[in-house]
């Protein structure tokens, strides 16, 4: 994407200056014309001037949420938008957000709409946020929209933290299990090699197998990191391909226990996003398009695209959802009832509340279920190596008896 500096006038003859982001000059011109601006001058900016904003790191979710909450409070208190943004620019601790807000303040001073200004910084302000702000500006309820956005991103942040917390425990236990097994095979098991060699008897097949594994790990330990890197590259290659990404995302949804947890997280995000957009009077086609891009699952994303095409033709939104296994009957029924009653945003809001609560319960159940399973797996892994050490002892004991 490129940045273009423009000098224009609105229909009342008022001068407007600012920046617009577009793929080319023609697209930039179309964007400005859609805003009912008469373009006087349009030139592309030096790309290096915007390099940090285009390719820099993203702002932490928590910092962005704090910014939204403070901005909504200031606007609600009657502080002008340009002053509120300038005040938050001085207060924020995030250097990247501070630098971005400096550009936004300059745009606002020059008469650029807030939605157009933040649209120029997609790594800071997501598409969902930009469209909600645009709807708030059109309805004159920017303070209400900002408050809704703060609540929305707080809920998304809390949900993400719950998912991370629920999955971090089994991941940590699995990591410990693998580390213990490697330590037993590489450090502990070799201590018994001399004893096995001194035994005038053939080692049990299982012990010989574990011994070979131990010797192989000691000799070729340096291959461990390249193998892991190769696996990571292989995974990246698969997910970069649309068919491969679709396969991986399908597997994620169908994994026992974890698949259901993952599905609830996506449904909560989808219904919350759709309800927030529709409540702010964003057109349903735009809402579907934006929602499909934040699901982070190719399977459900494809269904949402089918919904877009269906609604565009004038048919029911619930149709494609009812025909797909990834969407439970409760969601589809609520959407169908919402369409008939004209209260789709309200029912989607209820569905979002339901799945967020379900996600809480699922996280607790997941931890309760996985804890004994992981302990059992760890015990079996360690026990298998200990068994390989004990088996030759019985052979030695038998030789001593006879």
- The domains found in the chain, sorted by start residue, are 1-55 (3.10.20), 58-125 (1.20.81.30), 153-402 (1.20.81.30)
Q: What is the pLDDT of residues 105-129, one digit of tens each?
A: 888 887 888 888 888 888 888 888 8
Q: How far apart are CA 117 and CA 101, in angstroms?
A: 10
Average pLDDT over the chain, rounded to an integer: 82
Q: How far apart are CA 195 and CA 274, in angstroms?
A: 68
Give pLDDT, residue 250.
92
Pairing of strands 2-9, 15-22: antiparallel
3-state secondary structure of 18: strand
Q: How far apart are CA 362 and CA 170, in angstroms?
A: 14
Give pLDDT, residue 52.
40
Mean pLDDT, rounded, for 355-373: 83
For 132-226, strand residue ranges (E) read none
Residue of 297, 341, 304, 300 lying closest to 319 (CA atoms): 304
Q: How far apart are CA 284 and CA 276, in angstroms?
A: 11
Encoding tokens for residue 120? 């120029």
Q: What is the pLDDT of residues 179-234, one digit of tens each?
A: 888 888 888 878 777 776 666 667 778 888 888 888 888 888 788 888 889 988 99
In sequence order, which residues have a C-beta less than 8 Å from that of residue 143 and are 6 or more positions away? 72, 75, 76, 136
Q: How far apart are CA 289 and CA 304, in angstroms?
A: 8
Q: How far apart are CA 53 and CA 120, in angstroms?
A: 9
Mean pLDDT, rounded, for 310-322: 89
Q: How far apart are CA 123 and CA 137, in angstroms?
A: 22
Give pLDDT, residue 399.
59
Give pLDDT, residue 50.
47
In sequence order, which residues have a C-beta less than 8 Å from that of residue 64 and are 6 or more positions away? 97, 124, 153
What DSSP character marks residue 326?
A: T
Q: What is the pLDDT of residues 3-54, one digit of tens each?
A: 777 878 777 777 777 777 777 777 888 888 887 788 887 877 654 444 444 4
Mean pLDDT, rounded, for 248-276: 88
Q: How many CB atoms sit inside 10 A of residue 227's CB?
A: 10
Q: How far apart are CA 153 and CA 269, in angstroms?
A: 10
How far does the chain reach from its first CA to its final CA, in angstroms? Answer: 83
Residue of 254, 256, 234 lying closest to 244 (CA atoms): 234
Residue of 289, 317, 318, 284 lying closest to 301 (CA atoms): 289
Give pLDDT, residue 54.
41
What DSSP character marks residue 187?
A: I
pTM: 0.70
Encoding tokens for residue 302? 């494809």
């Amino acid at each position: 994407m490129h940045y273009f500096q423009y000098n224009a006038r609105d229909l009342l003859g008022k001068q407007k200056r600012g920046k617009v982001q577009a793929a080319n000059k023609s697209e930039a011109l179309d964007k400005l014309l859609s805003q009912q601006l008469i373009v006087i001058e349009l030139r592309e900016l030096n790309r290096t001037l915007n390099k940090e904003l285009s390719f820099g790191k993203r702002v932490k979710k928590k910092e962005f949420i704090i910014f939204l909450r403070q901005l909504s409070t200031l606007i609600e208190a009657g502080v002008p938008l340009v002053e509120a943004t300038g005040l938050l620019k001085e207060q924020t601790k995030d250097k990247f957000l501070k630098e971005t807000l400096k550009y936004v303040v300059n745009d606002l001073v020059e008469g650029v709409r807030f939605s157009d200004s933040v649209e120029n910084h997609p790594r800071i302000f997501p598409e969902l946020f930009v469209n909600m702000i645009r709807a708030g500006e059109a309805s004159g309820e920017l303070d209400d929209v900002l408050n809704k956005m703060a609540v929305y991103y707080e809920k998304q942040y809390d949900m993400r933290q719950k998912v991370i917390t629920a999955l971090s425990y089994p991941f940590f236990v699995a990591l410990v299990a693998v580390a213990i097994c490697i330590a037993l095979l590489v450090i502990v098991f070799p201590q018994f090699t001399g004893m096995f060699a001194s035994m005038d008897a053939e080692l049990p097949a299982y012990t010989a197998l574990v011994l070979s594994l131990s010797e192989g790990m000691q000799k070729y330990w340096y291959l461990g990191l390249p193998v892991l890197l190769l696996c990571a590259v292989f995974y990246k290659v698969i997910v970069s391909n649309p068919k491969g990404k679709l396969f991986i995302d399908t597997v994620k949804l169908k994994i026992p226990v974890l698949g259901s947890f993952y599905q609830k997280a996506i449904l909560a995000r989808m219904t919350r996003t759709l309800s927030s957009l529709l409540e702010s009077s964003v057109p349903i086609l735009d809402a579907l398009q934006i929602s499909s891009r934040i699901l982070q699952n190719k399977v459900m994303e494809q269904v949402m695209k089918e919904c877009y095409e269906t609604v565009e033709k004038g048919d029911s939104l619930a149709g494609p959802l009812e025909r797909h296994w990834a969407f439970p009957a409760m969601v589809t029924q609520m959407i169908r009832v919402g369409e008939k009653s004209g209260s789709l945003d309200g029912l989607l809001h209820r569905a979002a509340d339901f799945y967020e609560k379900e996600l809480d319960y699922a996280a607790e159940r997941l931890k309760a279920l996985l804890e004994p399973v992981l302990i059992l797996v760890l015990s079996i892994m360690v026990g298998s190596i200990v068994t390989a050490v004990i088996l030759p002892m019985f052979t030695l004991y038998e030789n001593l008896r006879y």
